[in-house]
Amino acid sequence: MGGQFDGVRSTSRNSPAANAAGSDIDTIYFGGGTPSLLEPSQVKRILDTVRGKFGVAADAEITMEMNPATVSAESLAGYRELDVNRASFGVQTFNDRDLKLLARGHDANDARETFRLLREAGFANVSFDLIAGLPGQTLDDWERNLDEALAMQPEHLSLYLLEIHEGTPLAEQLRSGRRPMPDEDAAAQMYEALLDRTAADYKQYEISNFARPGFESAHNTKYWRLDPVYGFGVSAHSFDGAERYWNERDTAAYVRGIEGSASAEAGRECVDQVSEFIFLGLRLNRGIGLDEYQRRFGRDLREAHRAELDRLSDAGLVEFAGGRLMLTRRGMLFSNEVFAEFV
């Protein structure tokens, strides 16, 4: 399967292979591809191996990405017995027309039924993925999506704006004019509607992520804080605190690497920690602590980036409050423009 399995640790800057034993793991994430196609027995083998190599916290957050119609009551019960305690559920939309546009293998009823099965299996931490900005999607369409999602009361919501990938049927349909191009102004309205509609019951803790109190994604927060990550599997990415490295994307090449040299690493790069600390930290609602920046880099953030911060502040995109730098609501709408100042 062309997915990835991630385990996050909190110490050591060396490679996972060299530092597996004794490392502390507090989140495990099965993601990429469709990991819910795995049988519980296969998930058990993976988790047993991880627990044999790492010190895994008893209350670790263990997430599995799941697509509708790829699970059964039996498989979900099996995952729960293995302490998989969080489901990231790819609903995308409750509109069957849009699901066909996205070439998804499920319809809205499949999503509703899968959510029911998750609850019956005892999953008390479920995240919905929703996509906004689809070609032809109106604000009314989006609000109906939100109505249904919020009525189901998941613990977590993740919003994604549509990305057009070259070589896909949708990209060709847009290029040929058979589908209207996504409307950026409409997508901005959809985002603001999400902010308004979730405010009563959910806390926005990151630009695209909303959670009921206590249900923020511990795993994904690691990425935004530049914490080290172990990645295992085809195309999986890792970060050791200084360098980012990744495995082969091609399954056959991955297997050859593992069988030959016990490594399927395809490349690595040094990370510009200053710029990544800023633009990843600004994704979080709490923003960046000025004291933390000083400790990490031995510089004052305001002085080091005075020109950029003056421009962004004058445009109403960032603000300082309580010893922290953070995006304004307007800054969230134009976050890419903010981030570009620091890359």
Examine residue 264 and state whether it is found in any structural domain, yes or no. no
Token pair in block for residue 338: 């903010």
The whole-angstrom distance between residue 86's C-alpha and the CA centroid of its chain comes to 13
Residues 185, 77: one domain?
Answer: yes
Q: Which of 222, 239, 265 is the last residue of a domain?
A: 222
Name residue, tokens 């060396």.
Answer: 14
Q: Which domain, by its residues, includes 291?
A: 285-340
Examine residue 65 and state whether it is found in any structural domain, yes or no. yes
Confidence of residue 340 (pLDDT cuts 50, 70, 90): very high
The pTM (predicted TM-score) of the whole model is 0.87
Examine residue 278 and state whether it is found in any structural domain, yes or no. no
Whether pLDDT at 31 is above 70 = yes
Number of domains in the chain: 2
User: What are the CA-CA distances from residue 21 to residues 16, 27, 53, 201 (Å)?
Assistant: 9, 16, 5, 41
CATH number for the domain spanning 119: value is 3.30.750.200
Residues 48, 124: one domain?
Answer: yes
Report d(CA 74, CA 317) in Å as an integer.
49
Could you read off the pLDDT of 321-337 as tens digits, one per residue?
A: 999 999 999 999 899 89
User: What are the CA-CA distances from residue 141 to residues 21, 46, 190, 340 (Å)?
Assistant: 50, 41, 10, 31
Report d(CA 101, CA 96) in Å as an integer.
9
Give which of 209, 200, 191 is closest to 128, Cα–Cα: 209
Whether pLDDT at 19 is above 60 = no
Q: Which of 200, 222, 244 is the last residue of a domain?
A: 222
Helices (H), ranges, 168-283: 169-176, 184-198, 218-224, 251-261, 273-281
Q: Which of 205, 222, 239 is the last residue of a domain?
A: 222
